[in-house]
Amino acid sequence: MKKNTQLNITFLSDTYSLLISVVLFIAFFVIGNSTVNAQCLFTIKGLVIDSSENTPLELSYVQLEENKKGTYTNKRGEFQINDVCAAEYDIHISHLQCEHLHIKLNITKDTFIVVYIKHTDIELQGGKITMHTHHEDDDFNSLNLTEINAKKGQSIADMISGIAGVVLVKSGSTIAKPMVNGLVGNRVILVNNDVRQEGQNWGLDHAPEIDGNMATEIVLIKGADALRYASDGIGGVVLVNPQSIFKERTNQLKGNINSSVQSNGRGMSTSIQLGQKVSSKFPLFWRVYGTLAQSGNIKTPDYYLNNTGKRENNAAAMLAYQTTKVKLDLFYSFFNNKIAIYQGAHIGNLTDLKLAINRDEPTDKGFFTYDINRPFQAISHHLLKKKWNFLFNANNKLEWIVSYQQNHRQEFDILRSANSSNTAASFDYLIKSTMTDLVWSKKDFHHVNFKLGVYGLHQTNAFSGRFVIPGFVHNSGAAYFITEWDIKKVHFEAAVRNDVKSIRAYLWNQGVQTIKDLFFNGFTYHTQMKAPLTKQSFITLTQASSWRPPMPNELYINGLHQGLATIEVGDPNLKPERSFNQQISYHYHSKKIQFEAELYYKRINNFINLVPDTQAQLTIRGAFPVFKYEQYDAEIYGVNTLLKVELSQNLALNNQTFLLYGNQLTPSRFLNQMPPMSNRFSLEYKVKKWVIKPQILYTAQQKRLLPEMDFKAPPASYFRFDANLEYEFVVHKQSFQIQLTVLNITNTRYRDYLNRFRYFVDEPGRNFIVKLNIPLNIKTQKK
């Protein structure tokens, strides 16, 4: 005796959602039972559907406002509320990533409703506020999952170098740092999982302490949102994010194993990820990660590089909980590695350096071993993060992040005596950083989105060993305002930020302590405009200014740098750097062709740079060249382009060009350590489940350098040929991926200008890498 009745139901948004301009499409079907039962025995059943994907929406919370009775939808999107009395109810339907709905419903019988709600992911993906999907075709500044997966097992810097404008500054074959448009070190900010990475970022031989295997998104932020993370990201701000833990909708145990082996260095790496939602009803999520990696001595085409092994073990755990209004996640990660440093680059004095530089090949041809001897580095990095998300409604959110990082870096020089009982590190740095970031995001406030935030940092750096940099206490606070809006089809972004920093440094000289107190205050802004030119193209104009105060290493460093037999001397009178960045970029995207180009001009006043001094310093090991921190005005300008053409259904070509010039302005001369022009060309051929991708990398010789600016002329230009072969297969409904990569196929001898060991040895020779990705989808018993 059932009959279907269709009801017209008026719905009201809650007060905040009145601002929503997007009209929701809602349909209701009410299936009622015509017989009236006793007063409080009605049942409301229903189905919540994501209108954009037309799929059931799990974890929506359905609540009767009158008596606060509520329940979550199951994974089929169904819900049921029992023992409902006959009355008119205001039913509140909410989902964390959706608009909230209020429905007035008069219950007189058992009722079944179907609710279509619009699932708008208001999770601030990659820290961007996006009203529209601006970044859908932005391959330029980000790496997608496929690109990241192809580089799994490599260092985080290697992964980031896939982004246009990013090259690597290397110290041998095991240590790499990303350089963004000619800037490196303290000027490139890495944000790992919402938290600014704080280690000994200044050293060129200090690689970022992040496990790239966890990343599923890597983005170089060029928009106003960069100011949320830093004022001093003159080079850029790179976000490295793992997959959002809240994505899981079922309680199935999910994960994957990434395993790789490589011929050169006989390296192996295995990384595992596993997680689940505890039960489909209880929104508690967990995930764990682990990585183990090891490699031995690397071989150039002609000889082994003694002592170039590496060991790494990392682990991380996440725990998260969400209700309709609050999300909380806890994250802990541990990064630990031991990196051997090529022995031939450990130089006794200037005479040794000159001898080593003038040799074409090292005297010792080396052999293979996994053993790690002095000199080596041992680094451990802990990150603990707590993040709250308070979701007042779809347009109104408060995010609070508290984090703690502890970075312990030890460097072990060669000992004078092989039998020495001295096991202590030659340098030992311990840097601890506690940070907090509170940001209020408001969307669609008179058609404007904005974020308002405050940031605080307390950092201590303790140092022991041979004096290089002082211990210091660094406190820093900032407030920022970031906004975006659209006028017709033109998108605008703007941000302002003000930072205050105080640094107290403890200098020691033969038992006597001197305390230096410094205070800096700086203002930063970023403006950007994005306008469509045609249906297929748009341009972006950026004008921004950043500010970076000198850090203790630049001010007070005073010591021997064994790796290059140089003495580095800081300048305590350095002033903050101020950069002005102008950029214009053009994007064209048609069905077959994608073209992106960016042209930038950066003027940096008071640019701090390490330059050779005319006077050598006398030591017991002979005279050493001195490099001093100096500052002057500088300019860096260049162009990055990307071209993707689909030649046919199976064949695509891809070309990336990088061109950069750097000049010192007062007095006028070239800037040293600037990357030469390079070009990367690849083809991608797909047949069935196979993808074949050959690639040619060309790097020009850096000619913009005066002979007195370096020990040796920059290396010659080179071509390098690589190839990648990928195959996907399905076993038991699970898709496996296997990849074969060959680097330096022709086993070419070459050296790279940005590798600091270019004076001594060639780059690695041919390398075969085999990678296997095994998905883990473990069925759990229903609870």
Partner 1 sequence: MKLKNQFFASMVVLSALSISFSSCKSDDPKPADEPKNESELITTFKIELKDSLTNNIKTFYFKDLDGEGGNPPTQLDTIRLKSESVYLCSVFMLDESKNPVEDITEEIKEEADEHLMVYKVTGANLSIQITDKDSKSLPLGLLTKWKSGTVSNGQLLVSLKHQPDIKDGSADKGETDVEINFPVIIR
Query: Which residues are at the interface with partner 1 (CB under 8 A)?
Result: 284, 319, 321, 323, 326, 328, 330, 332, 346-349, 351-352, 355, 363-364, 382, 384, 386, 402, 404, 406, 413-420, 422, 424, 426, 428, 430, 432, 434, 460-467, 471-473, 504, 506, 508-511, 513, 558-560, 567-568, 617-622, 624
Least Cβ distance, residue 405 to partner 1 (angstroms): 10
- 730 C-beta neighbours (distance < 10 Å), count: 9
Question: Is 249 strand, coil or helix?
Answer: coil
- Partners of 155 in the β-ladder: none
CB-CB neighbours of 427 under 10 Å: 22
Instruction: Name the residue nearer to partner 1 (CB basis): 68 or 591.
Output: 68
Q: Would you say 77 and 57 are in contact if contact means Cβ atoms under 8 Å apart?
A: yes
Which of 609, 720, 620 has its CA nearest to residue 671? 609
Q: Which of 179, 145, 148 is nearest to 164 (CA)?
A: 179
Nearest CB to partner 1, comparing residues 54 and 358: 358
CA distance 214 to 778: 20
Structure tokens at 560: 């021997």
Q: How far is the CB of 565 from partner 1 (least distance, A)?
A: 10
Task: Closer to partner 1 by CB, 569 or 653: give it.
Answer: 569
Q: State the nearest-atom distance from the C-beta of 328 to partner 1, in Å.
A: 6
Least separation in angstroms between residue 414's CB and partner 1 is 7
Give whichever of 402 and 697 is closer to partner 1, judged by the CB atom.
402
Per DSSP, the residues of 148-186 read: HHHTTTS-HHHHHTTSTTEEEEEETTTEEEEEETTB-GG
Nearest of 448, 330, 331, 322 to residue 390 by alpha carbon: 322
Q: Which is nearer to partner 1, 418 or 730 (CB)?
A: 418
Q: Nearer Cβ to partner 1, position 140 or 556?
A: 556
Rank residues 416 and 488 by Cβ distance to partner 1 and give the closer one.
Answer: 416
Based on CB atoms, which residue is closest to partner 1, 261 or 616?
616
Shortest distance, CB of residue 319 to partner 1, whole angstroms?
8
Minimal distance, residue 416 CB to partner 1, in Å: 5
Residue 280: burial class (beta carbons within 10 Å; 0-12, 13-18, 19+): buried
Q: How far is the CB of 286 from partner 1 (least distance, A)?
A: 13
Shortest separation between residue 558's beta carbon and partner 1, angstroms: 6
By beta-carbon proximity to partner 1, the closer residue of 349 and 654 is 349
The residue (of 162 and 348) whose beta carbon lies closer to partner 1 is 348
CB 568 → partner 1: shortest distance, Å?
8
Nearer to partner 1, 49 or 347 (CB): 347
* Cβ-Cβ contacts under 8 Å for 601 (sequence gap 6 or more): 581, 582, 583, 635, 636, 637
Question: Please, which residue, 347 or 677, has the CB nearer to partner 1?
Answer: 347
Q: From CA 249, how far away is CA 256, in angstroms rounded? A: 17
What residues pair up with 501 in beta bridges, in sequence order? 476, 520
Three-state SS letters, 528-596: EEEEEEECCEEEEEEEEEEEECCCHHHHHCEEEEHHHCEEEECCCCCCCEEEEEEEEEEEEECCCEEEE
CB 412 within 8 A of CB 366: no
**Number of other residues whose CB lies within 10 A of the CB of residue 662:** 23
Nearer to partner 1, 80 or 351 (CB): 351
Minimum gap (Å) between residue 392 Cβ and partner 1: 17
Sign of the four-CA dihedral 222, 225, 231, 232: negative
77 phi-psi bin (left φ>0, alpha ψ -120 to 50, beta other): left
Q: Which residues contact 657 (CB under 8 A, 6 or more apart)?
A: 639, 640, 641, 677, 678, 679, 680
For the bound state, the minimum distance from the C-beta of residue 606 to partner 1, rounded and expressed in Å, comes to 25
| Closest separation in Å from C-beta 710 to partner 1 | 21
Alpha carbon distance 493, 129 (integer Å): 10
Q: What phi, psi does 146 have (nearest 5°)?
A: -60, -45
Q: How far is the CB of 40 from partner 1 (least distance, A)?
A: 21
| Bridge partners, residue 637, by sequence | 601, 661
**CA distance between the termini of the chain:** 35
